[in-house]
């Protein structure tokens, strides 16, 4: 794959998604440069074999210096924490919207052949129909979704106005090894961390009605490589697992893979995200995408990696100012 690219840049390559992507690129024997400020990296380490350029995507000068000469760019750097976007919307905007513009501008200036933007299912907001195809109406309700959509709009405009070969992926909630418990809000790892520490799993919303499609990071990496290699420029693709699971079913999976019944503390009064978040992934399947990791196997592997007493999640789920959060 990716035979036409020699120098590949991964923004956010020391973060959760970026680190897995960099490892896959190195396995393909690619020359990989990482642009990262190490703000969410677990230990500040990067995969051996990649070159780290410590920089902040909010600074256009720093970005231009690092992007120079990159033929393929995977833009994964972002604030991925929805709660933080509510608490500090300016930081979220500067990182996700302005930061994406800075990388696009530098990519255009250096003659980048392809730009892969990692967006988010949050751009859909509250769904109207299921499963959601890429043309589903957008009904945003958090600054995070707005900033990620702004990035998409700039990608589209750089394609239409300047011919930059952009392609966009909208991952649904991503989980897997290497998540930072201080910033990650995806339920799989949060629930596991509470459960493995003998604590109740704190479910925000209606545990039976709130459903998600959780995609394992290994499947997301497969999808991003396919987008870079095969997707038509200017297109956007959902990235999911094809499995829908409720929060109650997820706690049952956790109990099954750990051999101990999960205790649930349900915060049912907070209903902002009690809805089905389920993608139609038929479009990306036309590129050869085949999700391989089931939620059962992915949860089992993650539980084994975390061990008996992993660090507890320290963030809280907030959708609007003044909202009650987890205990």
Residues classed as catalytic: 144
What distance in Å separates the CA atoms of residue 107 and residue 297, rounded to the nearest whole number?
38
Token pair 């101990």 is at which residue? 260
Hey, what are 194's tokens?
A: 């509470």
Question: Within a 10 A sphere around the Cβ of 31, how many other Cβ atoms?
Answer: 16
Is cis: bond before 131, omega within 30 of 0?
yes
CA 22, 223, 40, 146 dihedral sign is positive
What distance in Å separates the CA atoms of residue 15 and residue 218, rounded to the nearest whole number?
14
What distance in Å separates the CA atoms of residue 187 and residue 178, rounded to the nearest whole number?
14
Hey, what are 258's tokens?
A: 């750990």
Residues in the chain: 327
> What are residue 139's DSSP bridge partners?
125
Run of H or E including 203: strand 201-204
What distance in Å separates the CA atoms of residue 168 and residue 227, rounded to the nearest whole number?
8
Answer yes or no: are the C-beta atoms of 149 and 141 closer than 8 Å. no
Longest dimension (CA), the chain: 56
């Amino acid at each position: 794959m990716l035979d036409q690219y020699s120098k590949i840049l991964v923004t956010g390559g020391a973060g959760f998604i970026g680190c897995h992507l960099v490892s896959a690129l190195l396995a393909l024997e690619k020359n990989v440069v990482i642009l990262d400020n190490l703000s969410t990296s677990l230990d500040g380490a990067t995969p051996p074999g990649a070159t780290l350029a410590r920089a902040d995507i909010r600074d256009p000068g720093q970005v231009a210096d690092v992007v120079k000469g990159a033929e393929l760019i995977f833009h994964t750097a972002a604030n991925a924490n929805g709660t933080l976007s509510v608490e500090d919307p300016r930081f979220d905007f500067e990182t996700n919207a302005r930061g994406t513009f800075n990388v696009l501008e530098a990519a255009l200036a250096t003659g980048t052949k392809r730009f892969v933007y990692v967006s988010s299912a949050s751009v859909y907001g509250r769904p109207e129909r299921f499963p959601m195809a890429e043309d589903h109406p957008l009904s945003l309700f958090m600054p995070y979704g707005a900033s990620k959509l702004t990035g998409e709009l700039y990608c589209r405009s750089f394609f239409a106005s300047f011919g930059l070969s952009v392609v966009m992926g909208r991952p649904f909630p991503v989980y897997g090894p290497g998540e930072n418990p201080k910033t990650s809000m995806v339920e799989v790892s949060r629930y596991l961390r509470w459960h493995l520490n003998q604590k109740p799993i704190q479910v925000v919303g209606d545990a039976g009605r709130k459903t998600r499609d959780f995609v394992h990071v290994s499947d997301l990496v497969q999808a991003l490589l396919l987008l870079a290699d095969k997707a038509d420029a200017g297109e956007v693709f959902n990235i999911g697992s094809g499995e829908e699971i409720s929060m109650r079913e997820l706690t049952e999976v956790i109990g099954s893979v750990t051999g101990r019944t999960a205790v649930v503390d349900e915060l049912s009064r907070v209903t902002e995200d009690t809805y089905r978040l389920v993608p139609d992934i038929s479009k990306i399947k036309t590129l050869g995408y085949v999700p391989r990791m089931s939620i059962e196997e992915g949860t089992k592997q993650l539980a084994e990696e975390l061990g008996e007493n992993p660090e507890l999640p320290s963030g809280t789920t907030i959708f609007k100012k003044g909202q009650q959060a987890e205990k």
